[in-house]
Structure 1
Amino acid sequence: MEKGKKLSRPREKTTTDAAVVFSFGILITNMKRLLVVCVVGVLLWPQAAVFGETDAERRARLEKELQVVEKQIIQQQSLLEGKQVERQSLERDLNILDTQINKAALGIEARELAIEQLTDQIGEKEEVIDILTERLQKQRQSIAELVRKTQVVDDYSLVELMLSNQNLSEFFVDFENYRVINDSLNESLEALSTIKSDTESQKTSLEDKKLTEAELKELQEQEKLAIERKENEKEQILDVTKGEEAAYKQLLQAQQKTAAEIRAQLFELAGGGGKIPFPDAVQYAKAASAQTGVPAALVLAILEQESSYGANIGSCAYDDIVYGRAVMHPDRDQPVFVAIANALGFNPSTQQVSCPWIRNGERIGWGGAMGPSQFIPSTWAIYGGIVSTGSGYAYSASSDAIRQLTGKSSPSNPFNNQDAFMATALLMRDNGAAGGTYNAQWTAAIRYFAGWGGASNPINHPYGDNVMARKARLEQEIKTLEGS
C-alpha cells in the first residue's frame, strides 16, 4: 500500500436404516473421488504450469484457480453447516428420548414398588380374614352348643323341674344366663361377620389396585420399549449423519488446504526483498511474536494489508517531485532516510519508496514509506538504531532494537523481510497489541495506520476491521498448512 504516514512515538438397523447407510456409502465414495481430484490437483500444479510462464501469467492463473476453490469452499462449508445442524437436532432428539426413557424407567420402578406394597397389604388382609374366619367358626360352635343347652332347658317340664334337686329360682337364673350369653354371642358373631366382610372388601379393593398397577406397569414397559426402538433408529441415523459430516469436513479441509497452497504460491510471487515462501514468512512472524508477544497471524495480517508482503513497496524516489513537492517530508524523514542509506550502503535516490496518495487529482500527505512494513524513516529510526547527533542523524548499533532481537551482525534494514517483520511486531506491541483481546489488537492496528491520535477517528476504523479479518483467515491457513 503506497502511502505516507505520520506516526508519533509509541507511549505503551431397519430397512430404512439400510437405505440410509447405502446412500451414505455412495456419498462417501463420491466425496473420496472428489477429494482425490483436489489433492492430485494440488500436487500437479507445478507440472501443469506452462513452461516459460511469466510471473504475471502464473499469478493470473493462480488467482483464477483460487477463485474457483474459494467458491467450492463456500459451497462445502454450507453443506457442512447443514449437516452440523442436522446432527445437533438429532442429538437434541436423543437427549429428549433419553429423558423419556429415564422417566419411563422411574415410572416402572414406582409401579413395582406400589405393586409390592399392595401385595404386602393384601397379605395382611388375608391374615386378618383367616383370624376372623377362625373366630367366627368358634363363635358359631359356641352358639350351637348354647342353643342345644337352651333347648334342653326349654324341654324341661314342670314335673321334671319339681322332681329335680334344683330349686325354681336357680332354674330361672340359669335360663336367663343362657339367654344373655346367646344374645352376646349373636352380637359378637354379627360384629365379626361385619369386620370380615369389610376386610374382604378391602382385600378385593387392594387386588383391584394391584391389577391396575400391573396393567399400568405393562403399558409403561411397552412405552419404554417403543422409545428405546425410536432411540436406536435415531442413533443409527446420527451415526450416518456424523459420518457424512466427517466426510464433508474432510473434503472442506482438502479444499482449504488447496486454497492455502495457492495463496502460498501467490505469496511467494509477491515477496519482499526477493521471493519468500509462505512457510518462511510464518517462521519470521513466529520469531517476532516470540520476542514481542504479538500474535504471528496479526503480524502477517499487517504486512499483507500494508504491502502484500513487500509486493507493493512503492515506485517513487525519496527526492522525486510530485505535484510540486518532494515525495518524502524534507525535515522529518529525508535526513533520516539518508542516514539509513549510509548505514546500509544503498543509493537513496534509486531506492524505491511509497508515493504520496493522489485522490481526485490532488496530492494527500507525504510518501516515503519503506519496505514490507511501510514505516516512514522517522518511525523506523525508533526501532532501527538511527539517532540524532545534534547536527544530523547516524546509525547506533546499541539503539538498534530490531538487530538485537534478530541477532544479526549488521544494521537492521527496512527492505529486509526478517527485519520488517520484527519492526512491525515491535510497533504493534507498543501500540498495545500484546494485550491479547480483540479490541486491543484492533486498536493497535488502527494506530499502526493512523497513529495514536487518529485511532479514535471512525474513518480509520475499516483498516482495523480488514486487518482482523485477515488475521482470522491467516490463523486458519497456518493451521491448515501445518496440519494442526
Structure 2
Amino acid sequence: MKLNIQRITISFITLLAVLGLLLPPLLAFSQTPTEERTQLEQELKKLEAEINAIEGDITKTQKEKKTLENNIYILRSKIYKLDLEIQKSGKLVQDLKFQISDTEASIGQTLTDVEVKKAQVSDILRKLAQEDVKTFPEMVLSSSTLSGFFSNVLALELLNQKNKELLANLTELQSYLAVQKGNLESEKQEEEHYQRIQVLQKKESQNTKTQTEQLLQVTKGKESEYQKLLDDRKKEAAQIRNRLFELIGVPQAPTFGEALAIANSVSAQTGVRPALLLAVLTQESSLGKNVGQCYVANTQTGAGVRTNGVAVKNVMKPTRDVQPFIQITQELGKDFTKTAVSCPIPSVGGYGGAMGPAQFIPSTWTRYRSRLALALGRPADPWNIHDAFYAAALYLGDYGASKQDYNSEWRAAMIYFSGTTNTRYRFYGDSVMRIAAGYDADIKALANNNGPLSQQ
C-alpha cells in the first residue's frame, strides 16, 4: 500500500510538471488580439536588435584579413542573420493578418449598417409615397380633428427631415466603406510584398549554405587551399563568363557573358549600371520562378490556369491589366491565352500577371511602351531579353538609378519592387545591392583577366 501511495505521488508530480509545460501555450491562446499584437511587436523589436548586432559583426569581420576562418565565420553569420530575417518576415505577415482580419470585420459591420440605413430610407419613402397620393381634401377628411390634420402634416415634415439625415448617413457610410476596401487592398498587397521577401530570404539562405559547404569541400578546411583559391583568377573568369544567367519567361537562359553584353549596351543608353540591372533582374526572376507561370483565360475575372492546366483565380487584375495585356500581345502577334505570366501567391489572394524577365505588369509596361518603341524602332516585347533589360533600366533610371550612387540605386530598386521606399521592405533593396556588388566583382574579374567583354 505504501508503494502505491509513492507511485500516486510520483504520478501526481509528473502530471504537474507536464501541466507546467503545457500552461504557457494554453495561456497564450487566451490572449486578447491587442495583447497578441503587443507581444508580436515586442518580438519584432527583439529580432531587429539581434539582426542589427549580427550585421555589425559581419561588417567588422569583413574588414579583417581574408582568411578561410573569417570567410566561414561570415558565411555562417549571414545564414543565422537570414534565418532571423525570415522569422521577422513571418511575424510581419502575422501582424498583417491581424490587420486584415480587423479590416474585414469592420467592412462586414459597415455593410450591415448600410443595409439597415437603406431599409430605413426605403420605409420612409414608402410612407411618404402613400401620403403623397392623397389630395388636400382627403388629408383633411382623414383627420378626425383640425389638430389631428396639423399633427399629420408635422409628422410628414419630420419624416422628410429624418429621410435627409438617413441619406446623409448612408452617403458617409458608403464613403467610409470605400476607404475600408482601399485599406484592405493595401494590406493584402503589403502581405504579398512580405511573402515575396520571404521567398528571396529563403533562397539567399540556401545559396549561402551551399556556398559554405562548397568552400569547405574545395579547401578541405586548409588555409593554404583557400589562399590558392583566391589567386586563381583566370579559371574564375572563364567560369563567370560561361555560367548561365537564369531569367524567368525566356525559353533559353543566356550565359552571364551574354547577359552582361546586353546590360552594357543598355547601360550606355540609360546610364544605369550593368551590375545593378543584372541584380534587379536576378531578384525578379527568383520571385517569378517561385510563384510559377500562368495563362489568362477569363478576361472578365482575370482567372486562368497554370501551365500544367490547374485552374487559378486572380491571374491578372481585370480592371487594371487585362485589356493592356491583350493590346500588348495583339501588337506582338501573340495569343494572350497562350502567353505565360506570373501566377498569384496563393496564400495572399492578390494578383499575378507580371510579364517576362523584368516582371512588369501590363499597365506599367504600357507606360513605357512608346519610349521603348521610339528607342528600338519597333514594338517592344516584354519576353525579349534585350527589351526587358531596356524597360527595367528606364524604370530604374526614372527613379534615380542613373546617378550611380548607393542611396539612389537602393531607392530605385525599392520602388521597382513595391512602388515605395518603405523600410519594412528594405531586404529587397539591401539584397539587390549585395548582388550588384557580387556582379561588380565578377565584371572586374572578367575585365582584368580577359579584357573588356565587348572585345571577346
State the TM-score, normalizing by the size of structure 2. Answer: 0.45
Larger radius of gyration: 1
State the TM-score, normalizing by the size of structure 1. Answer: 0.43
